[in-house]
Structure 1
Amino acid sequence: MIKILIVEDQVIMRDSLANLINGQEDMQVVGSIGSAGDALEICRVKTPDLVLMDVRTDNNENGIAAAAKIRAQYPSIRIVIMTGMPEITYMDSARRAGVDSFLYKNINSETMLATIRSTMDGYRTFPREAPSVLPGHLSFTDTEIAILRLVCEAKSRKEIARELTMSEGSVKAVITDILNKTGYDSIIKFAVFAVSKGYIMPNA
């Protein structure tokens, strides 16, 4: 029997997942909560085999950050992250956090259940990299995304250049390209917008 903890802030979605999972002969929901901030403690109390967790939960808690804490303290627990957001960087962040599998919420029930079972069998499931596209069909390069992440972390242009092994002039040129694409007059303003909409997740 696979014991599963669900971490999902939307009550209807949480209840639907619980009903789906409890309807399986080989699965059981041992906990169902709305905030990723409580996940570590519930893992201690309920000892699930697998945590099925949304990226964003109640109180704006970060599911990927919670996953990293669970991985550090309970390495045997499998972790599946799910999201319905048109993210750019969540999959990279999930991999760094030690997440076992990653799902979009637009999948069908059969795929969800199959992923849970395969993850318990030791297989990792990640969808193909989502295209780096923001509203208006604006595409961004890996370098542009990396710079946006670092801007979100309040890094200076000099610090960004050092971290990405680029010249400050090159960083400035990339930032100019981003502003030209988006129509923003400030990279800080655009970075704040991208984070607020869930399109960019700064490194934890």
Structure 2
Amino acid sequence: MPVTVLLVDDEPLVRAGLRAVLEAQPDIEVVGEAADGAAVIPLVRQLRPDVVAMDVRMPLMDGIEATRAVLRTVDRPPKILVVTTFENDEYVYEALRAGADGFLLKRARPAEIVHAVRLVAEGESLLFPASVRQLAAEHGDGGGNRAARAVMERAALTDREGEVLRLMARGLSNAEIAGQLVVGTETVKSHVSAVLAKLGARDRTQAVIAAYESGFVAPG
């Protein structure tokens, strides 16, 4: 089955460019388009895409509010890939905090766009972890978030789970974490699942954001 994608951007040329890049791949299908975040929920319910590639800045409803709305109201919501012009945009960090699974730069090369969509669809690893760390350093509060600290304390991660979370924050895949810790990938998957469950995180991105917000992982 191909990875199905919904494109959401107020610029028709951006949507056309993304569609051309993605539909050139045999395993990716663009199933719909929207020009504003306000149209996302009905289209997601109708088309059931695997991934929504969503502009972060739009006139009526931006990508942050649209992300919150999808995750709040849609059963089994799709993965959300925020599309942005600037990687250090504070809107991007807010979108990640709201529940987006990763972000993609509009200037990315075609191969990077395709890789990003596949990666988000798989839920395997953070996108552009160095940039996410930069965003956390610039827009996070370095552990000043008491709510995030309380969540981390209640999670009571084991030492090994803490190691796995720190490696996740560096953007390592399950296979790369397994290599670092000299364990099997299935063992890593179990640890990742435990980390997500204990933190109440939807996915790896949300777990890493929680780690930054709580000060468990130092940005930069």
| Residue 109 of structure 1 pairs with residue 110 of structure 2 | yes
| Structure 2 spans left out of the alignment, 5+ residues | 148-220
Distance change >3 Å, CA 125–CA 105, structure 1 → 2? farther
Contact between 2:88 and 2:131, CA under 8 Å: does it hold in 1?
Answer: no
Task: Name 1:98's counterpart in structure 2.
Answer: 99
State the 1:18 CA deviation. Answer: 1.0
Task: Name 2:9's counterpart in structure 1.
Answer: 8
Task: Name 1:66's counterpart in structure 2.
Answer: 66
| Residue 83 of structure 1 pairs with residue 84 of structure 2 | yes
| Structure 1 spans left out of the alignment, 5+ residues | 133-139, 147-162, 164-204
- Give percent identity, aligned residues only: 25
Amino acid aligned to 1:64: I
State the 1:74 CA deviation. Answer: 3.5
Mapping for residues 174-189 of structure 1, pairs under 5 Å: none
Deviations 1:10-29 (A, max 9, x none): 11111111121111101111
Mapping for residues 139-158 of structure 1, pairs under 5 Å: none
Amino acid aligned to 2:34: I
Distance change >3 Å, CA 30–CA 19, structure 1 → 2? same
Is the partner of 1:5 in helix, strand or coil?
strand
Question: By percentage of residues, which structure has more helix?
Answer: 2
TM-score where L is the length of structure 1: 0.60
Amino acid aligned to 2:12: V
CA distance in 2, matches of 1:39, 1:141: 27
Task: Name 2:32's counterpart in structure 1.
Answer: 31
State the 1:86 CA deviation. Answer: 6.1
State the 1:88 CA deviation. Answer: 3.8
CA distance in 2, matches of 1:13, 1:90: 19
CA distance in 2, matches of 1:107, 1:41: 29
State the 1:46 CA deviation. Answer: 1.1
Contact between 1:91 and 1:102, CA under 8 Å: does it hold in 2?
Answer: yes
State the 1:90 CA deviation. Answer: 2.4
Distance change >3 Å, CA 125–CA 142, structure 1 → 2? closer
RMSD, aligned CA: 2.8
Task: Name 2:19's counterpart in structure 1.
Answer: 18
Distance change >3 Å, CA 96–CA 29, structure 1 → 2? same
State the 1:121 CA deviation. Answer: 1.1
Contact between 2:63 and 2:95, CA under 8 Å: does it hold in 1?
Answer: no
Is the partner of 1:81 in helix, strand or coil?
strand
CA distance in 2, matches of 1:141, 1:50: 26
TM-score where L is the length of structure 2: 0.56
CA distance in 2, matches of 1:43, 1:121: 18
Contact between 1:81 and 1:99, CA under 8 Å: does it hold in 2?
Answer: yes
Distance change >3 Å, CA 85–CA 141, structure 1 → 2? closer
State the 1:87 CA deviation. Answer: 4.3
Deviations 1:169-197 (A, max 9, x none): xxxxxxxxxxxxxxxxxxxxxxxxxxxxx
Instruction: State the structure with more CA Rg.
Output: 1
Is the partner of 1:48 in helix, strand or coil?
coil
